[in-house]
Chain A
């Protein structure tokens, strides 16, 4: 009877999910309610978790709950600590949840809500969650070894080197891309700039509180910090309305970029307790709270989604980024669907905290589904905007125009009615000078979130506060990714350079700290600055580069795990990792090819460089702008080279992995699996 009821329940969930997916996929003429998205996502995630992850756990990887994990065997109270599974999930989710699932879906909404939403749901369930889960399992069985170490041992030294390089490359591009998002969100916004600037002294105050007065009292310090940040958000309105103070905090894009570069350098080089750690506490709790509030707001308000399922820009002529759905939708929505960066977390601290192998299912697979759900909510928040407003905010000046009248005329011509007065009124409502050409996704997401929050509490009167709260929340944890990422990049570079000159490898030696921090910051700072100066909108360039780099790393992770599955004798289940690998290879290779060689200058780097070079040779630019356009030509060619390097690395990984598979399957190589030997657990199952 119980089995019958369970069967009936899961049938009902599956049918509800299918119905919701059908509704959002087939509805064309009328606006659709956001509840359909929530139902579709939740039902698909439940089915995926209950059946697919259970199949992977039981049949593919054969998780063994009697096997002692490294947390138990190597328990040292520092790195290896057996931890309650809910706490591990909290740590893991806090680590993987970044700005990517908020920004990517917002940008991909230019195709309409359908492609991005389907990719978020299906990609996460069949690709991203599988990657996180299998890598976590692989690392647990290898004493918490990193992805690079697993790649070197199980595949080849070349794969290990590629993994290391891919991590550094993705770090640089990721930091540049998210820094550009923040720059575009805050430029010419005194309210937003003031609020974010205040988080620096607030974080320093928290750091001193924890260091000198109450060491370890993280929640107390965080409560203090959150209260002060809210005061800063409210005080920002006063700053914006004061002519003298507004002038101080109104920064252009390039000025803001330089300020963020200086901040990144300082945060990486300064002691971790002073700035980085307190910012991290602040951003983690604000992020979790805001995400929960957004989910609650969407369920309460049940807003109508105004963006159509598919827009005309599926033809590749999109103003936000050029290119067709395949491959660019799948490159743009990376973190909420498949993210290689997660494999670093899954082979980082998490495997050292897990008490039971069987917990990996909830932590690895489940956390990624939650992250995907955050992406779905971001898609909803972007799509509740009127399409004309969405495009006016996200389109660069070079395409939509610089004034409200120009933007209204251009965007109405695209088939999305928009009046100039609408944008002026909206800017006034949220307390900004203008919302035009605020590319990068963050402002339009903030407007969408503000509309949902204000429909819950406060109405139009609080739109400004809600908008700047949303901007603050996004910018806060983007900057945390920035400083934590710069610091980790600095450590990796010190480790690498230490092989050539030992003193460089000493993480406490200040000349090394300052030099390597400068190198990492210079790398992402260069791409950030070129993005800020790009007249086509730097996101058009940087975000696809980031997506390609991220999915390169995912390819490495899945290729390594495919090798491990073959060595474990699980050949008939290897399609679980091989299909997502094949998909990612096709997406990244197609995207790379198009970004390098496409004839459309808005897509192909070389086409744009050649186009500009032709105009330069014909003397079509004023004399004072020749240097600027020469730099643009150089940047495009550099981006083409960077993309070619990423594409080559994907090929190297696949070819070396395929060679190993061939050698193992034909018996030309002895199968050696580098798992730790089985030891029975002594810990009772307490949860």
Chain B
């Protein structure tokens, strides 16, 4: 009885450890994904994709939109001292 209980208790402890490891991995994944999205936003990559979705077209259109985005950004003060 004692052995069974011990085994059962040990198994449930292992399950808890696996679950908490899984939960922690999930948190790390979420954080990494959020950070990656943040970098995509700050770099302008996400904004470019949104503009593409609003005006779908050919590959040439995509390149034109990308160039236009850059021209607009760098025609204003955007980098400080």
Hey, which chain B residues are within 8 Å of A90, CB to CB? Answer: 38, 41-42
CB contacts (< 8 Å) of A96 on chain B: these are 80
B75 and A488 form a contact (CB under 8 A): yes
Q: Which of B1-9, B23-31, B59-67 contacts A (4 or more CB under 8 A)?
A: B59-67
Residues of B within 8 A of A78 (CB): 51, 72
Q: Which residues of the other chain, A, contact B39 by a CB distance below 8 angstroms?
A: 219, 285
Most-contacted residue by chain B among A77, A215, A222, A349 (CB, 10 A): A215
Among B40, B41, B66, B79, contact of A98 (Cβ-Cβ < 8 Å): B79
A124-149 vs B, Cβ < 8 Å mask (1 yes, 0 no): 00000000000000000000000000
Q: Say whether B81 contacts A339, CB under 8 Å.
A: yes
Check A65 for interface membership: any CB of B closer than 8 A.
no
Q: Which residues of B contact A77 (CB under 8 A)?
A: 50-51, 54
Beta-carbon contacts of A200-227 to B below 8 Å, as 1s and 0s?
A: 0000000000111001111100100000
- A94 close to B (CB within 8 Å): yes
Bound: A84/B73 CA distance, A: 19
Give the nearest-CB partner of B66 in chain A.
Answer: A215
A387 to B39, CA, bound (A): 39
Query: Contacts of B79 on A, CB cut-off 8 Å?
Result: 95, 98, 280, 480-481, 484-485
Complex partner residue of B80 from A95, A216, A217, A546, CB under 8 angstroms: A95
Contact with A along B45-73 (1 / 0, CB 8 A): 10111111010000100110011001111
B45 near A217 with CB under 8 A, answer yes
Are B40 and A219 neighbours in the complex by a CB distance under 8 Å? Answer: yes
Q: When the two chains form their complex, are residues A481 and B81 in contact, meaning their CB atoms are under 8 A apart?
A: yes
CB <8 Å contact, B74 and A277:
yes
Among A210, A334, A342, contact of B66 (Cβ-Cβ < 8 Å)? A210
With known contacts A339-B80, A339-B81, A507–B75 Cβ distance under 8 A: yes
A119 within 8 A of B: no
**A436 sits at the interface (CB 8 A):** no
Instruction: Indicate if A53 sits at the interface (CB-CB under 8 A).
Output: no
Is A81 engaged at the interface, CB distance under 8 Å to the other chain?
yes
Contact A87-B42, Cβ < 8 Å, known A216-B52, A481-B79: yes
**A333 on interface, CB distance cutoff 8 Å:** no
Contact A87–B66 (Cβ < 8 Å): no
Name A's B-contacting residues (CB within 8 A). 77-79, 81, 83-84, 86-87, 90-91, 94-100, 167, 174, 178, 210-212, 215-219, 222, 271-273, 276-277, 280-281, 284-285, 334-335, 339, 341-342, 344-345, 348-349, 480-481, 484-485, 487-488, 491, 507, 546, 550
Q: A212: which B residues are within 8 A, CB to CB?
A: 63
Say yes or no: is B10 at the interface (Cβ < 8 Å to chain A). Answer: no
**Most chain A beta carbons < 10 A, residue from B36, B72, B77, B80:** B80
Query: Which of A84, A272, A341 is in CB contact (< 8 Å) with B71?
Result: A272
Task: Say yes or no: A95-B47 contact (C-beta < 8 A), given A90-B42, A210-B66.
Answer: no
Number of interface residues of B (CB under 8 A): 33
Would A488 and B43 be within 8 Å (CB), given that A98-B81, A215-B63 are in contact?
no
A218 close to B54 (CB less than 8 A): no
- 14 interchain pairs, CB-CB under 8 A: A83-B41, A90-B38, A97-B80, A100-B80, A211-B67, A219-B39, A342-B80, A344-B80, A349-B76, A349-B78, A481-B80, A488-B78, A546-B81, A550-B81
Q: What's the nearest-Cβ distance from chain A to residue B40, in Å? A: 6
Residues of A within 8 A of B74 (CB): 272, 276-277, 280, 484, 487-488
Q: How far is the CB of B13 from chain A (nearest CB, A)?
A: 35
Specify which chain B residues have a CB less than 8 angstroms from the CB of A87 in the assembled complex. 38, 41-42
B77 adjacent to A216 (CB under 8 Å): no
Bound complex: CA of A596 vs CA of B21, how far in Å?
A: 68
A488-B62 in contact given A87-B38, A335-B81, A481-B81 (Cβ < 8 Å): no
State the Cβ distance, A434 to closest chain B Cβ, in Å.
29
Complex Cα spacing A339 to B71, Å: 26
Q: Cβ of A491 and Cβ of B72 under 8 Å apart?
A: no
B44 interfacial by beta-carbon distance below 8 Å: yes
CA distance A86 to B34 in the complex (A): 11
In the assembled complex, which residues on chain B have CB atoms less than 8 Å from the CB atom of A546? 81
Question: 7 closest A-B pairs (Cβ-Cβ)?
Answer: A90-B42, A484-B79, A87-B41, A216-B48, A218-B43, A215-B66, A100-B81
| A495 nearest CB neighbor, chain B only | B75
- Distance (Å) between the CB of A340 and the closest chain B CB? 9
| Chain A contacts for B71, CB-based, 8 A | 272
Chain B residues closer than 8 Å to A99, beta-carbon distance: 81
Compute how far the CA of A271 lies from the CA of B50 in the bound complex, rounded to whole angstroms: 24
Q: Provided the pairs A77-B50, A215-B62, A272-B71 are in contact, do residues A484 and B78 lie with their beta carbons within 8 angstroms?
A: yes
User: What residues on B are CB-neighbors of A487 within 8 Å?
Assistant: 74-75
| Cross-chain contact B43 with A219 (CB below 8 angstroms) | yes
Tell me if B63 and A211 are in contact (CB < 8 A).
yes
* Given A86-B38, A91-B42: A98 and B76 interface contact (C-beta under 8 Å): no
With both chains docked as a complex, state the minimum distance between the C-beta of A484 and any C-beta of chain B, in angstroms.
Answer: 4
Kindly list chain B residues whose C-beta atoms are within 8 Å of the C-beta of A271.
67
Query: Of all chain A residues, which has the CB nearest B41?
Result: A87
Q: Which residues of A contact B63 (CB under 8 A)?
A: 211-212, 215
Q: How far does the alpha carbon of A277 sit from the alpha carbon of B41 in the complex, in Å?
A: 16
Measured in the bound complex, the distance between the Cα atoms of B72 and A217 in whole Å is 18
Neighbouring B residues of A94 by C-beta, 8 Å = 42
In the complex with contacts A77-B54, A90-B38, A218-B45 CB distance below 8 A: yes
List A contacts of B45 (CB < 8 A).
216-219
**Interface residue from B43, B47, B80 paired with A341 (Cβ < 8 Å):** B80
Among A78, A79, A341, max chain B CB count under 10 A is at A78
A228 to chain B, nearest CB (A): 18
A685 CB to nearest B CB, Å: 19
Q: Is the CB of B78 within 8 A of A348?
A: yes
* Closest residue on chain A to residue B54 by CB atoms: A77
B3 to chain A, nearest CB (A): 48
Min CB–CB distance B26 → chain A (angstroms): 21
Q: Which residue of A lies closest to B36 (CB)?
A: A219
Instruction: Give CA–CA (A524, B53) in the complex, Å.
Output: 42
Q: How far is the CA of A271 from the CA of B64 in the complex (A)?
A: 13
Among residues of A, the one whose C-beta sits closest to the C-beta of B51 is: A77
Asked whether B80 lies within 8 Å of A335 as measured between CB atoms, the reply is yes
- List B contacts of A349 (CB < 8 A): 73, 76, 78
Q: Closest residue to A222 on the B side, CB-wise?
A: B43
Find out whether the CB atom of B42 lies under 8 angstroms from the CB atom of A348.
no
Chain B neighbourhood of A219, CB < 8 A? 36, 39-40, 43, 45
